[in-house]
Amino acid sequence: MLLCTVCQLEMKCTKTNTELKLHADSKHGKQLEECFPGATKIAEELLAAVGKGKDADVGGGGKGSSSGPPKADRKKKDGLDDLLNSGLDAFKKKGKN
């Protein structure tokens, strides 16, 4: 359980902190961490504990966006991906120095 620093309401900390985020946003118009400092870390720990092996439902992000393009499409794209990767590599190196 976490205490809202603004209204002292006790809220349950979950993996996704959906309730806490909603509370912070809708009740106070604040970020999660402003109302519940450390909530993000607790959520991460919960995720780490539960999410081993299976894909945990991470709230907030888009769903099912991780599946790549169909196989037939992939072959065509290979050349492009290589080009993109080398471009990214060059970019990364540039950023490091």
Give the shortest CB-1-to-Zn ion separation in angstroms.
Answer: 13
Give the shortest CB-44-to-Zn ion separation in angstroms.
Answer: 22
Q: How far apart are CA 52 and CA 58, in angstroms?
A: 13
In the complex, residue closest to Zn ion by CB: 4
DSSP lists the bridge partners of residue 47 as none
Closest CA to 42 of 92, 2, 81, 89: 2
Dihedrals phi, psi of 14, to nearest 5 degrees: -125, 180
Residues of this chain that interact with Zn ion (CB under 5 A) are: 4, 6-7, 9, 27
Give the shortest CB-54-to-Zn ion separation in angstroms.
Answer: 32
- Using the minimum distance from each CB to Zn ion, give the nearer residue, 4 or 13: 4
